[in-house]
Chains A and B, each alone.
Chain A
Amino acid sequence: MNSASTPFDSALIPEGVKRCSFGWFLVWIGILQVPLMIGAIAYLVCWGLALNQTYLNNNYPFGIWIAADLGIIALGGGAFFTGFLRYVIKIDELKNIVNFAVVVGVICYSAALGILAVDIGQPLRGWHIFWHANVHSMLTEVAFCISCYFTVLLIEYLPLVLENRQIDRVPVFHFFSHRLHEAMPAIAAVGVFLSFFHQGSLGGVPGVLYGRPFAYREGFLVWPWTFFLFILSAMACGPCFTILITRITEGFARKNLVKRNVIDILAKISGWLLAGYLVLKILDTVGWLSWAGQVGAPLGSFYANQPYGYWVLITELGIFGVIPCILLLIKATRQNQNILILACFLNCAGIFMNRWIMTVQSLAVPVMPFDKFFSYHPNWAEWASTLLWVWIGAVVISLSYRYLPIFPQEKELNPL
């Protein structure tokens, strides 16, 4: 989308970088409006005509929305974890990608909250979760921490907006953004703290369901093992998702925006975390199976029904787990850009799949011995409203990339 001429909106574009013409930009944003409108219609349909417009039912009170919510928040984990590595562990190179990780985080968390708003049956009563809070419910913890962390993310995103060429000219904004930058390590630390809790409590959401042997896990004090596994898996896949979105953005921009060594650091850390996660996840699976056997639910009972056969277990842990882990840990494969993309994709897909399994498959497995198995798949309204956030994300990234200096290395990598 590069263009030789000076774009019409060049006064807003960061100095020393090249962007496509304003016309092309409008065409691109215009194209995105089509799926955006479909998604918006799906929202209106679900809000206006109620949730009978979905394929959810009494056996599947949770569907793609909840799975996507948990998945998106895990993928958005790149924001807090990169912030943690940059500001707390102080890996300086990561300053070149942390801004973008924040942008991706803002999108993911907006998506999570936006999806919850359509998922609940009485959206206008959403505030009951805060007002009548049940401190014993994992969902209460999730709601509080996610809302707080979303605010933190917005505060992290704000200085980026203030750095826009024209806004930055205003002395008060310049000063404010400077101060925010100074406070960033503290803000990031708060974000890390909040993230640990809500990533964990999202794991607790299925983990505490002791009436559902497929989801239930024993654990440490009030926290089921899934609490810890969810934190670790978010840390393992978040950076890979940031890499993936960076590479997609680079593809559209047709230039490199982040140096390879920066991406390599993230990929390597991801690989090690994924390895750690897989070891614990496999131990967890073994422990869970022996517990389930004791309560009368043998392994076969969980995987007896297609489409939830044994392939699920093999795909999640093997194809989407062990394979990307190996690819990320071996230097040669990690540094091959195509293989890296594949590994990041597999890693993210594995964690997303895990969230689907822990929510939707947990409900799919009949618990009463005389209960029937029913299958579920999302309908158009569920797909369109979920994917809406992909298109919103594309718009936010396009705008941020065009008008904000989110890639500090862009100038150096692409001299004019």
Chain B
Amino acid sequence: MSEQHHEAHKHHEGHGTKYKYGMVIDLDKCTGCGACMVACMAENNISFRKDNSDKLLSNYWMRVYKISNGLPFPDTEICYIPRPCMHCEGHGHHHHTPCVSVCPAVATDYDQETGIVSQIYTRCFGCRYCMAACPYHVRVFNWWDPKWPEGMEKYLSPDVSVRMRGVVEKCSFCNHRLQRARNKAYAEERREIHEDEYQTACTQACPAGAITFGDLQNPEHEVHKLKDSPGAFRLLEKLGTNPKVYYVSSRAWVLKAADVYIGEEGKGVTHP
């Protein structure tokens, strides 16, 4: 499927290819069920505490926000906004990603080949400068050492390293799944990874099909079309963070409330 496209554009995995993995999330479809959050926790060995209710201290890579149009019943409307890491391309053409450019120890990096912003847990020394740089509150700090309920450590994914206390972590677009897909392609003597071979856990878990994942640059991938649909926008567009996660909604109030930075006027509607 994408072979021709990549042939034409000289796009080959591991050979200076320029993939741009990204997401389009349809806010009109999202029901706020939280399946994406759960899938992400399980997939990525995200640690939790007995009481995980304080969201300022708990770990999550995908978080679903809830906004309302602020009108009284019966005109009340709710919209849920799932928010993974935006894998920002950043200012200019040099991939001056907000968090990557500030990390003093190169513990987080922008992969030019895939557009994925990685996090190297064993190099991060926990200065938290990257957290200050990210306006989306994507990055979380390990305030505690991870502790799994008795026996649960046996169910951890062997593909994702667990994180120790004192370091920052965040969504990796399930980078290990990309590795897996690459290995498979390699074994089958292919250079291409098909759209369905590399999908994030949240995308697959969403029962409403609200999340679409793929190569934003590849016209054959669904995301390529969806990102240009009417009502598509990115969070904090005007700041120039250049995110690779797009949102779509047909509701005017959602567009206004979700991104004041997109239009000249408009005022954010806060949580109910």
Contact = CB atoms under 8 A, between A and B. Distances in A.
Given A119-B127, A126-B125, A128-B125, A139 B141 contact: no
Counting chain A CB atoms within 10 Å of each CB, the highest count among B103, B132, B261 belongs to: B132
Counting chain B CB atoms within 10 Å of each CB, the highest count among A123, A296, A363, A372 belongs to: A296
A295 B239 contact: yes
Interface string B89-112: 001000010100111111100000
B102 A137 contact: yes
Given A210-B241, A296-B238, A132 B56 contact: no
A350 B103 CA distance: 29
Contact of A372 (B145, B262, B271): B271
Nearest to B81: A370
B270 A370 contact: yes
A126 B124 CA distance: 9
A61 B170 CA distance: 14
B257 interface: yes
A56 B267 CA distance: 29
B269 A370 contact: yes
A119 to B, nearest CB: 7
A50 B165 contact: yes
Counting chain A CB atoms within 10 Å of each CB, the highest count among B107, B236, B257, B271 belongs to: B236
B135 A134 contact: no
B57 interface: yes
B147 to A, nearest CB: 12
A61 B103 CA distance: 14
A139 B124 CA distance: 14
A138 B135 CA distance: 18
B258 to A, nearest CB: 6
Counting chain B CB atoms within 10 Å of each CB, the highest count among A129, A209, A362 belongs to: A209
Interface residues of B, number: 63
A121 B125 contact: yes
Interface residues of A, number: 50
A371 interface: yes
A125 B125 CA distance: 5
B103 A51 contact: no
A210 B123 contact: no
Contacts of A138: 102
B203 to A, nearest CB: 22
Contacts of B266: 296
B255 to A, nearest CB: 11
Nearest to B261: A296
Contacts of B271: 370, 372
A297 B261 CA distance: 8
Contact of A211 (B168, B239, B262): B239
B37 interface: no
A367 B239 CA distance: 10
B38 interface: no
B208 to A, nearest CB: 20
A282 B106 CA distance: 35
A128 B123 contact: yes
Contacts of A120: 125-127, 166
Contacts of B105: 128-129, 131-134
Leading 4 A-B pairs by shortest Cβ distance: A121-B126, A369-B268, A121-B166, A61-B128
Given A51-B143, A121-B168, A129-B125, 13 more contacts: A51-B165, A51-B166, A57-B56, A59-B137, A119-B127, A121-B126, A122-B126, A128-B125, A136-B101, A210-B240, A295-B238, A367-B136, A374-B56
21 contacts: A50-B143, A50-B165, A51-B141, A52-B144, A57-B57, A58-B56, A58-B140, A125-B124, A131-B105, A133-B104, A133-B106, A137-B104, A139-B104, A211-B239, A211-B241, A296-B260, A297-B260, A369-B257, A370-B67, A370-B268, A371-B137
